[in-house]
Amino acid sequence: GITRRRSRTVCLSLAVASLSLHLLLSVLSRSVYQNPCDAPSPRQTHLHTLRALVDTNYTSRMSDNHVGHGRKEGGPPMGSGMSKLEALFSHPLYNMPTPPIHEDDWLLKVKHKGKAREMTVTATPPPPPPRLRFHLGISRWQLYPHLDPNMASLAQQLSTHRIVSADVLQKSGGTQLKLVMSFPNYGQAMLKPIKQERDEETNFNLYYFSDFERHNAEIAAFHRDRVLGYRRIPPAVGRLVDVVTEIKDITTDHKLARTFFTSPVFLLQHAVCGRPQNLEASLAMMLPDPSLATRRTWRSPWKCSYSRSKLAVWEKNPDYCDTVKTPPYNKGTRLVDLIDMTILDFLMGNMDRHHYETFEKFGNNTFLLHLDNGKAFGRHSTDEPSILTPLEQCCRIRRSTLLHLRLLSLPQYRLSDVMRDSLSHDPLFSVAPLLSALHLSALDRRLVTVLQTVSCCQERQRSRHGEGDDVIYENVTDYKTLVNHVTPAR
């Protein structure tokens, strides 16, 4: 009846996605330098913002000018001719010199067979496909470089290339439908379907572990991570998938195939349905196979208890951070890496960060992978302060992270504006904006909270030790040299 009744809705049951666990939990659960008539050059504007970012009274001034207090609309630096995203990514903070990457700091290596031979005529080999270029670009420090030219090709592949197979992701502990979609060039992506409309808020009576995984949250999280300068979330794009021709007709997963049904109405509470056949979904690029790049899973020290009656240890002990500072959190960057992730989650409203992963090859000296962000952006009207507990208890933050956050609070680089610009490039933007105006506004509000938390940490440190420098993990000495060079002596 599917081919003859195109007007009917085609649905996919979620019985294949461990719904018994989901249902059980649901039952149990809760003045720039310028002449009067001349627009400043982008370079002058950058120097102005560099000086502003090191102002000791920055946080209080920024809070006074926050949204809701008659702020003026901000644009990119005057006279730059750039979009807001381009202006942000051209700022010196995003283009500081980085040391060369050593051979052992690449995740994957290309093995060349045989010795090089001289040839009178050489043919240029075809470039590797975008997914392989992405995998080969993963290093000890990030998943992809700033302004990576491969990102556009990768997004185009995820959103348009022919899907040759669709299979249920075999992952323990999952409660919702995830499919692995394969492409002709052996690339694979994880599909998460639409489960909640963009303007809906998560029901306040719904226990957060039973919350929906939102397709737009996965896409917005990738853009959010990139805007922050982290680059620790795999690329994710939106796509309209044909439930029949791109899933049902090509899947070899018999258990998945048996769950399809055609219905003129939504009959099943947990069904995933096309409209009538087109299904909005996110496709996130898969990381290299574990056989090539093993990943290690770490339990988050600030994991939620997932219980209505029990509190986690960190919720009862204000000095809990002192107990955490054991390997691997007692040296290197692991603690500030985790606080980076905390800030990302707070901005997105993601309470479901119970574990994180790293590439085993790099040991403890590497970045954290920010995977599984589907439960973010559920509520815009309220914030969840408990997510920021690691920052409040440890009072430690990277200098680069703090400077990026301060930059994103300035009118010409405002976080909500930059995110709106970035998300407008996603294919699903033609259907509807990926984040509602209220969710974008919530980002600005939460950014103020993060900066105020850092300011309180510094004040607390000053009251105890006479200075607040212990809060900052210094990792931008080149930036400090630049600021000293452009800031007039007092």
Q: What is the pLDDT of residues 339-383, one digit of tens each?
A: 999 999 999 999 989 999 999 999 999 999 999 999 999 999 999
Average pLDDT over residues 266-288: 83
Query: What's the maximum distance between 2 C-alpha atoms anywhere in the chain?
Result: 79
Active-site entry in 352, 417, 421, 444? 352
The span from the CA of 185 to the CA of 187, in Å, is 5
Q: What's the pLDDT score for residue 46?
A: 63
CA atoms within 13 A on the CB side of 463: 6
DSSP 296: E
Which of 117-126, 187-196, 378-387 is least confident? 117-126
Binding-site residue set: 176, 192, 213, 284-287, 357, 372
The span from the CA of 153 to the CA of 133, in Å, is 10
Q: What's the pLDDT score for residue 19?
A: 38
User: With 60 as the cut, is the pLDDT of residue 107 above it?
Assistant: yes
CB contact set of 9 (below 8 Å; sequence gap of 6+): 262, 263, 264, 265, 266, 273, 274, 275, 276
Ranked by mean pLDDT, which of 97-101, 250-254, 328-332, 481-485 comes out on top? 328-332
User: With 60 as the cut, is the pLDDT of residue 457 above it?
Assistant: yes
User: With 80 as the cut, is the pLDDT of residue 40 above it?
Assistant: no
Nearest to 360 by CA among 437, 292, 284: 292
> Which residue has 């502990």 as its token pair?
173
Q: What's the pLDDT score for residue 58?
A: 55
Q: What's the pLDDT score for residue 439?
A: 96
Average pLDDT over residues 390-416: 96
Structure tokens at 183: 């492409």
The span from the CA of 380 to the CA of 200, in Å, is 9
Give the residue extent of every domain in the chain: 130-484
Nearest to 228 by CA among 69, 59, 344: 344
Average pLDDT over residues 278-306: 94
User: With 70 as the cut, is the pLDDT of residue 114 above it?
Assistant: no
Report yes or no: 270 and 213 within 8 Å, Cβ to Cβ: no
User: With 70 as the cut, is the pLDDT of residue 66 above it?
Assistant: no
Average pLDDT over residues 447-468: 89
Q: What's the pLDDT score for residue 214?
A: 92
In this prediction, residue 195 has a pLDDT band, given cuts at 50, 70 and 90, of confident
Report yes or no: 10 and 273 within 8 Å, Cβ to Cβ: yes
What percent of the chain is predicted at pLDDT more than 70? 74
Q: What's the pLDDT score for residue 451?
A: 97
DSSP 171: -
Structure tokens at 406: 């301060």
Active site residue 352: yes
For the chain, give the mean pLDDT: 81
Q: What's the pLDDT score for residue 388?
A: 97
Average pLDDT over residues 457-480: 80
The span from the CA of 314 to the CA of 307, in Å, is 14
Beta-carbon count within 10 A of 394 CB: 23
User: With 50 as the cut, is the pLDDT of residue 63 above it?
Assistant: no
User: With 50 as the cut, is the pLDDT of residue 11 above it?
Assistant: yes
Structure tokens at 268: 């099943």
Compute the residue count for the chain: 490
Structure tokens at 55: 């102002």
Nearest to 132 by CA among 103, 146, 153: 153
Report yes or no: 438 and 380 within 8 Å, Cβ to Cβ: yes
Binding-site residue set for ATP: 176, 192, 213, 284-287, 357, 372
Beta-carbon count within 10 A of 243 CB: 25
Higher pLDDT, 489 or 128: 128
Which of 10-14, 256-260, 412-416 is least confident? 10-14
The span from the CA of 282 to the CA of 300, in Å, is 26
Average pLDDT over residues 395-422: 96
Nearest to 333 by CA among 415, 450, 230, 459: 230
User: With 60 as the cut, is the pLDDT of residue 42 above it?
Assistant: no
Residues pairing with 190 in the sheet: 180, 284
Structure tokens at 57: 């009274």
> Which amino acid, one-letter code, is at 271?
A
First to last CA, the chain: 79
Average pLDDT over residues 20-34: 37
Average pLDDT over residues 424-436: 95
Q: What's the pLDDT score for residue 483?
A: 54
Q: What's the pLDDT score for residue 47?
A: 59
Q: What's the pLDDT score for residue 112?
A: 58
> What is the side-by-side order of every strand in the sheet holding 260-263?
260-263, 9-12, 272-273
Q: What's the pLDDT score for residue 13?
A: 61
The span from the CA of 442 to the CA of 91, in Å, is 24
Binding-site residue set for Mn(2+): 213, 372
Q: What's the pLDDT score for residue 490?
A: 35
User: With 60 as the cut, is the pLDDT of residue 156 above it?
Assistant: yes
The span from the CA of 476 to the CA of 92, in Å, is 12
Average pLDDT over residues 377-406: 95
Residues pairing with 283 in the sheet: 191, 237
Q: What's the pLDDT score for residue 266?
A: 53
**CA angle in degrees (0–180, nearest 5) for 79-80-86:** 150
Residues pairing with 180 in the sheet: 167, 190
Nearest to 40 by CA among 89, 80, 95: 80
What percent of the chain is predicted at pLDDT more than 90? 58
In this prediction, residue 427 has a pLDDT band, given cuts at 50, 70 and 90, of very high
Nearest to 366 by CA among 401, 337, 330: 337
Report yes or no: 103 and 109 within 8 Å, Cβ to Cβ: yes
Q: What's the pLDDT score for residue 1?
A: 36
Nearest to 472 by CA among 370, 403, 369, 415: 403
The span from the CA of 192 to the CA of 379, in Å, is 19
In this prediction, residue 34 has a pLDDT band, given cuts at 50, 70 and 90, of very low
Q: What's the pLDDT score for residue 458?
A: 93
Q: What's the pLDDT score for residue 77?
A: 56
The span from the CA of 230 to the CA of 145, in Å, is 10
The CA-atom distances, in angstroms, between 75 and each of 35, 139, 418, 478 are: 20, 34, 9, 28
